[in-house]
Amino acid sequence: MTDQVQFEYQCVAGPTVIAIGKKENRAQAVAEYQTIINREAGKGWEFVGIDEFQTSEPPGCLQGNKPIITIFKMIIFKRPKVAPNVAKP
């Protein structure tokens, strides 16, 4: 039987709003994600990808009858699980 590597995963919230001055400054937005990815890599996490999910909230008094939909980005990382110390006979 071969040993299989087990992974643990971590999801980090991506920036919700990145303000840039002009279209030409899109590199600022990319740099925000790069900073997060490099920070987590320094802690031993390997970047897997970016995904998004939506939440739906009931409307407030002034929003009519449509739910409030919010889209969030999450940055996904993985690293090998550390096997617990098992006493060997």
pLDDT score for 21: 72
Six-digit token pair at 45? 């996490």
Rg (Cα) of the chain, in Å, rounded?
20
On the 0-12 / 13-18 / 19+ scale of CB atoms within 10 A, 74 is middle
What stretches in the chain show pLDDT beneath 50? 1
pLDDT score for 60: 77
At residue 50's C-alpha, the angle toward residues 9 and 44, to 5°, is 40
pLDDT score for 87: 55
pLDDT score for 4: 76
pLDDT score for 28: 80
* Dihedral sign computed on CA atoms, order 72, 31, 77, 10: negative
